[in-house]
Structure 1
């Protein structure tokens, strides 16, 4: 796993300088540099530090960024140079009306996304109705079929030209546009078909801020993401565009689409992609370009884990019916929210108290898990089953202590996934109500407290219960340095904000 984060705008010269600096530091005998080589190079450091070759230092730098070798790092940087995109471009206004329309009209997968931005794009188009006449990128974003047709006829090579404020090609602007939620279907579909027939690549994509998962045309079609469907919605004509791209040869194994859409229980994106072969094949051109992308089968296993842990039974059934492996344990490296911890899907369902999913998987042939007191205790607690908790504690006196040791942030996860009675029971069992954890996945990572999540969700009843149990309203989360009250205000939750305002200390004068 990488220990260094890839910069937003990586350049090979920067990594060369890092390698040379490491070589000089090792030759000078600096302990930290010597330790880096010892940790990442299979041959370590020889007795004569002055002999470290530049190639060895380059190898170490590559490994620190998660690449198997220097050539693989350089290949990735070449891919970024060709396909990279800086989301910061979406924040700066431009003077040209056509360019500004493109900037405002499109999803950027940044904090700038949202209906207010697209309303500005509509207003700009009203003020400058001719802005699409000479700009094929604006014409595509506005789905102005007559302008797209004429501009392509004048210069067919425009179909492959990168331009506009983001340096995208015309079809990408069309697919990522969100300026009009009622945009008519026919000009959108016909303009997209015209661009594809003229040679647009159905697998076009960009690496946003050098992240290794490509945001493709399909990603733009299906939309969604961490900011939610209001600020990052699907394209209004997503189904027609999706079929058009898939019929044109777009690879359905689109990891970013799967990630963006996994937060919602709706499965329509999966149904369409599965129809076109999601989970099969070699992963397409992006898998060939980028080392480390998941295989098609791995992508669907990640989806299965998320669905099991987030109470999405319809998605579990859909994936199982399409041949996704629901019997094997999750092993090997995975995203932080989907670790290879050796648990099977049935075990994970039981750990979350989800008997519906667990029973379904068992009925489909999954093996029943071996007895495990800690898992069974947590399972009973998530069902708020006090009698079973008491029985397990009596039969296995060490189970509770081990559960608290291995899952110190469990109450944070429970606050987002389980009934209030579960949170109460966990607190009574000695789980720290002020523990830090994650509320989006059942993994141990010290991000925020349960009170942060109840406040952000606007759950006044749970917020009161947590406060009664001893939750501290002045604790700050570890990512944004914000209190639960700050979270309530940020997410516009007046009910929980009203509860927290009288008991939250005002910021100090230095803040």
Structure 2
């Protein structure tokens, strides 16, 4: 798993400078640099590090950024130079009406996405109805087949030209446009067919902010993401448009689509992608460009873990029915929210209190998990099963202490996923109501408190319960340095704002 984040505008010279700096630091005996070498170099720290070769420092740096080798990193940077895209462009207005229309009409997968932008785009198009006549990118975003057909007939090479405010190719503007759900499917499909016939690549994609995996045309078709369905919806005609692209050769193994759609239990995207070979093949052209991308099988194992932990039984069943490995433990590097911690899917299902999923996996052939008092205690707490808790505590008195040691941030996960009674049970077991953790995944990463989560989600009942149990409204999260009240305000949750304002101390220096 990478420990360094890719910079906004990566270039090979900056990485060469970083590698030389690491080489010099190791040669000088810097403790931090030596620790990096020990962690990431397969040969460890040599007896005499004063002569460390630059190639060794380059390998360490590449692995810190998540690449298997320095040549793989160099290759990736070349791919970024060709396919990288800066999401900050979505926030910068432009003077040209056609370009501004494109900017407002399309998903950018930034914090600016949402219906207000698309309303502005419709208003701008109404004020300047002719802005699509000479601009193929605007014509694509507006799904105007007459304009697109004429512009391609005049200059067929336009289909491959990057332009508009984002320097995207025309088909990308069509697929990422959320201009108006009332635009007929016939217009959208007609434009897509025109461009594909003219040579548009059905696997077109960009590396948003220089990060893998790519946001492809399919990613734009299926939509969704961390901001939710309202602000990052699917294309209004996603099913027909997705099928058209898949028929044209788009690879169904689209990691960003899988990520964006995993937060909701709907499986319609998976059903379509499985129809076209999801989970099979070599990963397509993007895997060729970026060998460090996950394989199709690895992508689906990540999906299985998420579905097991987030109580998505229909998705678990769908994945199992399509041959996903549900017996083996999760091992090896993975995203922070999907670690390779050696647990099997059945163990994870039991640990998270998802008994029906565990029973299904075992019935399908998974090995039943062996006895584990700590796992059983946590699972009982997450189910708010008082009788099971009492039994486990009586039979295994040390289980509570070990559970608190293993899962110090469990309160945050419980606030996000479990019945409200679980919070009281955990507090009675001695779990810290003000502990830091993650609400989106059951991993020990100190991001926010349970009160941050409830405030940001507008959950009044849960917020009241947490305050009653001693949650501190003045604690600040570790990512944004914000209080629960700040979260409620930022996420437009007036009910929890009203609840938290009277109990939150004003910022230092305010009156």
Please tell me whether the aligned partners of residues 68 and 292 of structure 2 are also in contact (alpha carbons under 8 angstroms): no
Query: 1:501 Cα deviation (Å)?
Result: 1.0
**Aligned residue for 1:459?**
459
Distance 1:8 1:99 in 2: 23
Number of residues paired by the alignment?
A: 511
Alpha-carbon RMSD: 1.8
Distance 1:347 1:32 in 2: 37
Distance 1:167 1:204 in 2: 13
Matched, 1:115 2:129: no
Q: Deviations over 1:174-218 (max 9, x none)?
A: 000011121111010011011011110000100000111100000
**Aligned residue for 1:329?**
329
**Aligned residue for 1:381?**
381
Please tell me whether the aligned partners of residues 409 and 444 of structure 2 are also in contact (alpha carbons under 8 angstroms): yes
**Local SS of the residue matching 1:467:** helix
**Aligned residue for 1:154?**
154
Moved more, 37-46 or 97-106: 37-46
Distance 1:39 1:321 in 2: 39
**Aligned residue for 1:363?**
363
After TM superposition, the structure 1 = structure 2 runs for residues 9-158 of structure 1, keeping only pairs within 5 Å, are 9-26=9-26, 30=30, 32-33=32-33, 36-37=36-37, 39-42=39-42, 51-158=51-158
Distance 1:27 1:451 in 2: 47
Distance 1:389 1:75, change over 3 A: same
Unaligned 5+ residue runs, structure 2?
none
Distance 2:138 2:74 in 1: 34
**Aligned residue for 1:288?**
288
Q: TM-score, normalised by structure 1?
A: 0.96
Distance 1:413 1:244, change over 3 A: same
Distance 1:33 1:341 in 2: 27
Q: Deviations over 1:196-243 (max 9, x none)?
A: 111100001000001111000000000000000111000111111100
Distance 1:68 1:176, change over 3 A: same
**Aligned residue for 1:307?**
307
Please tell me whether the aligned partners of residues 109 and 232 of structure 1 are also in contact (alpha carbons under 8 angstroms): yes
**Local SS of the residue matching 2:207:** strand
Please tell me whether the aligned partners of residues 329 and 344 of structure 1 are also in contact (alpha carbons under 8 angstroms): yes
Distance 1:361 1:40, change over 3 A: closer
Query: 1:43 Cα deviation (Å)?
Result: 5.1
Q: TM-score, normalised by structure 2?
A: 0.96
Distance 1:335 1:433 in 2: 26
**Local SS of the residue matching 2:206:** strand
Distance 1:37 1:148 in 2: 55
**Local SS of the residue matching 2:199:** coil
Matched, 1:415 2:420: no
Q: Deviations over 1:134-186 (max 9, x none)?
A: 11111101101100000000001111111111111100010000111211110
Q: Deviations over 1:259-296 (max 9, x none)?
A: 00000111110110011110111111111111321111
Please tell me whether the aligned partners of residues 11 and 77 of structure 1 are also in contact (alpha carbons under 8 angstroms): yes
Moved more, 218-227 or 176-185: 176-185
